[in-house]
Amino acid sequence: MKIAIMGFGTVGTGLEEILYKKKKDLLKNNFDIKIERILIKNKYKERNPHDKTLIFTDNFDEILNSPVDTVIDVTSNLEETYERIVKLMKSGKNIVTANKAVVSKYFEDLNDLARENKVYFAYEASVAGAIPIIHPLMEEVFFNDIYEISGILNGTSNYILSKMEREGLDYDEVLKEAQELGYAEADPSADVGGLDAMRKIRILSSLAYRAKISEDEIFTFGINTVKKSDFDFAKDLGCSIRLLGKSSLSDGKINISVMPRFLRDDFFANTFDGTNAIKVHGENFKSYELKGPGAGKLETADAIMRDLLRILAKREIKTFYHAENSYPVENNLEKKYYLRCQKVSDDLKNLILSEKIVGEDHHLITKNLNLEKLIHALGDLESIFIAEIEEEI
Amino acid sequence: MKIAIMGFGTVGTGLEEILYKKKKDLLKNNFDIKIERILIKNKYKERNPHDKTLIFTDNFDEILNSPVDTVIDVTSNLEETYERIVKLMKSGKNIVTANKAVVSKYFEDLNDLARENKVYFAYEASVAGAIPIIHPLMEEVFFNDIYEISGILNGTSNYILSKMEREGLDYDEVLKEAQELGYAEADPSADVGGLDAMRKIRILSSLAYRAKISEDEIFTFGINTVKKSDFDFAKDLGCSIRLLGKSSLSDGKINISVMPRFLRDDFFANTFDGTNAIKVHGENFKSYELKGPGAGKLETADAIMRDLLRILAKREIKTFYHAENSYPVENNLEKKYYLRCQKVSDDLKNLILSEKIVGEDHHLITKNLNLEKLIHALGDLESIFIAEIEEEI
């Protein structure tokens, strides 16, 4: 199998490392994988691959016209990469990608295109790094009705939340440290704003319910306004705060959101630092849970290797996902919410179960209500923090 | 795909239920699975399958000579079933089995036989029910050096231990209740004696290290001598007691055992009732963890469905496992152990770090020593309980 890699950042170098170190072992088991070309942006930057004979190029057409079977995408571009993947699939090349932005936005398009062109479209690395979730879930849905899936899907946010919680620090302090240590990007907005987790819960939920869910239907609230005082409040209720992507299907309606949640659940509350955690609930059994590294060089490359081996094993069914169901997103489940704000609007007033005022901050707990109602009542309030309360309080 | 099922107990009826209820959905996705024959022992017992047209037989030759592609084994026989599987494979039939006794004892034989006869040998259901562990692990080993695997692999034992711990009850009391509720068998010896967990850690470890490990090389100590006082002692150290199967590979040597362990680790300590939990440590990442139902009607049938779909997807590589490595089992890691006994032999005396005598019982903590030394020192002591201490104390 001849492959090309698009991108040679952290994950790309990790993949090259594994392929180099495991070459003999893979060959012995008839897994013959050869890197033909690596597409990079800056041809003049010094690269230091294990295999010194590797060929780098900044010309995408060289990849498109090369005789490779499979292209690994480890870029973080959205539209440019999407267009390239389309061209590659149309020219008969399998795609393995870690690019959750592309997978989430164009999930149906790319799966359909893969089917039409009889190529593989594999994206195990796009969600939760080395945790084997995508492929088992993809098979599971044919014989088990999944009705809920939830997870800590963004390592950066979880690093910040769990560190604030354990060390009693404030947001800015922890973010700065995370950036210095490389756990958070210079521009962390996609992570702390919830966008990254939103993409992942979109992919998992579409797989689980075999239904298209548009990104803009997913209510997304990040952690970038969280304060130390929110943890104090949660702690008084015996709760931790974690950013969960969560969806469920009942009575033909989908509830889906990404937002901070107050929880006591040992599985999520005991997930610290950059770890990801996923819980799947289905008809055939109560639930199963998976936990592991959500990102990282060898961790994500490991997930790409899973996909490569599956392609080498030539599954007859090249792509499984097909959005055969259609369910409206309604967010009709009733929950209590925690809200910190500086003004309480009239709409909000009617929804308050209890209120505690500390300095300028109102810490509210709402009555049971659905998310749509909460969003409506929030109106254009600024500098707020909200969290769904998962527990009986 | 035409299949036959050997056995129609809990798991067999669960499989028939899933296949019946999901028939349309599976067909729509080109998964055409038809049950041709079901082998049962007592032809005169009343059966109540969903599909009333099903054909039952007590004649194995009818299965052997039938035109089925794949035979599902949900029996609990060891030697008889092994012989039948051999005959079926030789006649070109794929095998999907939930029978951990057969898989563990004849792992290399059956994988080799499957390879020779170009049939599939699939056993996802033999370990940890619905938790997707076997297949992801099978792929993982080609590109990630697994160096440790451990797990709560027996639901019955975990039910008893976690209930004793939480409710302060004694062993006999909980076992009796578990039997009444159907969580423990009338003869629970394979579960509480550790045999069942031993078979599962053998299967997982052989897969992980790609090496044969004979069942009789695995030191196995169950929970059937545990007392309330052991939990009191563990609690004083801040520990829970769980029965863990555990193995590791370092410096070309394998440590492997099944025994009760004192642990604080939230992942295992927070595994209650019949739940199974598995932790995998590899070179490419620190670890990943999986937790879920370890047994049950639909739970185990769910794992069989995973295998059936993989066979339908016609992987080119029909069987992955091959014992290409050879490592001696040495149990050379040094640990502290907890020991409760009524006599302290001379050999033991030299190994004691601390001792507490309550009534007739000596509760000891040993110095750091390896398992071989401990076993030697135990000699023929009777009515003892031992546990490895996983934590710093």
Give the percent of chain A with pLDDT over 90. 87
Given a contact cutoff of 8 angstroms between Cβ atoms, the answer to whether B128 and B275 are in contact is no
Could you tell me which of A191, A215, A190 has the C-alpha nearest to residue A202? A215
**pLDDT tens-digit series, residues A85-120:** 999 999 999 999 999 999 999 999 999 999 999 999
A221: distance to nearest CA of chain B, Å?
Answer: 28
Q: Which of A298, A310, A316 sits opposite B285 (nearest CB)?
A: A298
Beta sheet of A94-97, edge-to-edge order: A56-57, A34-39, A2-6, A70-73, A94-97, A121-122
pLDDT of residue B392: 83
Pairing of strands B334-341, B385-389: antiparallel
Nearest-by-CA chain A residue for B280: A292
Higher pLDDT, A223 or B318: A223
CB pairs under 8 A between A and B: 141
CB pair distance less than 8 Å for A130 and B285: yes
Of B22, B29, B314, the CB nearest to A316: B314
CB contact under 8 A, A142 and B287: no
pLDDT in tens, B26-71: 998 889 999 999 999 998 999 999 999 999 999 999 999 999 999 9
Task: Give the mean model confidence (pLDDT) for residues A182-192.
Answer: 93
Helix (H, G, I), strand (E, B) or coil at B309: helix
Predicted pLDDT of residue B345: 87
Spatial CA neighbour of B12 closest among B293, B304, B308, B310: B304
Position A29 confidence tier, pLDDT thresholds 50, 70, 90: confident
Residue pair B212/B206 in contact by the 8 Å Cβ criterion: yes
How far is Cα of residue A201 from the mean position of the Cα atoms in its chain? 6
Q: Which of A30, A142, A298 sits opposite B309 (nearest CB)?
A: A142
pLDDT(A314) > 80:
no
Residue A349 pLDDT more than 60? yes
3-state secondary structure of A144: coil
Instruction: Flag whether residue B29 sits within 8 Å of chain A, measured between CB atoms.
Output: yes
Q: How confident is the model at residue B316 (pLDDT cuts 50, 70, 90)?
A: low
* B 94-123 residues inside an 8 A Cβ radius of A: none
Rounded average pLDDT over A52-70: 96
- Residues 55-94 on B with a CB inside 8 Å of A are none
Instruction: List all residues 6 or more positions away from B225 whose beta carbon is below 8 Å from its beta carbon.
Output: B171, B383, B384, B385
**Mean pLDDT, range B239-251, rounded to an integer:** 97
- Pairing, β A94-97 against β A70-73: parallel
Residue B158, pLDDT > 60, answer yes
Please tell me the predicted confidence (pLDDT) of residue A315.
Answer: 62
C-alpha–C-alpha distance, residues A82 and A89, integer Å? 11
Helix (H) or strand (E) holding A359: none
Interface test with A, best of B20, B111, B142 (most A CBs within 10 A): B142
Any chain B CB within 8 A of the CB of A29? yes
Q: Which of B93, B200, B291, B373 is catalytic?
A: B200
What is the mean pLDDT of the segment spanning A292-315? 90
**List of chain B residues whose C-beta atoms are within 8 Å of the C-beta of residue A124:** none
**Chain B residues whose beta carbon lies within 8 Å of the beta carbon of residue A131:** 288
> What is the least distance, in Å, from the CA of B348 to any CA of chain A?
39
Supply the pLDDT for residue A313.
82
Contacts of A271 in chain B (CB under 8 A): none
Provide the angle, in degrees to the nearest 10, between the axes of the packed helices B107-116 and B195-209: 50
Q: What angle do helix axes A107-116 and A195-209 make, rounded to 10 degrees?
A: 50
If you average pLDDT over residues B179-183, what whole number do you get?
91
% residues pLDDT > 90 (chain B): 87
Angstroms from A11 CA to nearest CA on chain B: 12
**DSSP per-residue letters across B229-296:** HHHHHHHHTT-EEEEEEEEEEETTEEEEEEEEEEE--HHHHT--TTEEEEEEEESSSS-EEEEEE-S-
Average pLDDT score over residue span B236-255:
97
Provide the token pair at A30. 């008839």
Helices (H) and strands (E) in chain B, counts: 16, 17
Is a pLDDT exceeding 90 seen at residue B24?
A: yes
> What single DSSP character describes residue A54?
P
pLDDT mean across residues, chain B: 94
Task: Note the ipTM here.
Answer: 0.93
Interface test with A, best of B26, B127, B137, B143 (most A CBs within 10 A): B143
The mean pLDDT of A353-380, rounded to a whole number, is 94
Q: Compute how many other C-beta atoms are within 10 angstroms of the C-beta atom of residue B108.
A: 14
pLDDT at residue B173, as a whole number: 96
B285 contacts A302? CB cut-off 8 A: yes
Name the range with the highest mean pLDDT among A52-61, A287-296, B27-36, B314-323: A52-61
pLDDT value, residue A317 = 58
According to DSSP, the β-strands at B146-152 and B219-220 are unpaired
Residues of B in contact with A306 (CB under 8 A): 136, 139-140
Beta carbons of B284 and A301 less than 8 Å apart = yes
**Which of A164, A223, A220 lies closest to A385, judged by CA?**
A223
Contact B264, A264 (CB under 8 A): no
> Does the pLDDT at position A316 exceed 80?
no
Between CA B336 and CA B354 the distance in angstroms is 11
- pLDDT for B151 equals 98
B24 — contact with chain A (CB < 8 Å)? no
Q: What are phi and psi of B236, to 5 degrees?
A: -60, -25
Element (H, E) at A88: helix A79-90
Q: Is the pLDDT of residue B315 over 70?
A: no
User: Which among B22, B30, B293 has the least Cβ separation from residue A285?
Assistant: B293
Quote the DSSP letter at residue A216: G
Angstrom distance (rounded) from CA B316 to CA A161? 45
The pLDDT score that the predictor gives to residue A381 is: 84
What CA–CA distance (Å, rounded) separates A81 from A350? Answer: 48
pLDDT in tens, B68-115: 999 999 999 999 999 999 999 999 999 999 999 999 999 999 999 999
Active-site residue, selected from the candidate residues A163, A200, A291, A336: A200
Cβ within 8 Å of B, A 267-326: 267, 270, 282-293, 296, 298-299, 301-302, 305-306, 309-310, 312-317, 324
Report the 10 Å Cβ neighbour count for A141. Answer: 18
Q: How far is B297 from chain A (nearest CA, A)?
A: 9
Cβ–Cβ < 8 Å for B224, B192: yes
Q: How confident is the model at residue B55, as a pLDDT?
A: 96
pLDDT, tens only, B106-132 = 999 999 999 999 999 999 999 998 899
Q: At A127, is the pLDDT very low, low, confident or very high (cuts 50, 70, 90)?
A: very high
Alpha carbon of B77: minimum distance to chain A alpha carbons (Å)? 26
A24 is catalytic: no
Our CA-based measurement puts residue A146 at a distance from the nearest CA of chain B, in whole angstroms, of 12
Q: What is the pLDDT of residues B261-287, one digit of tens each?
A: 999 978 999 999 999 999 999 999 889
pLDDT at B295: 85
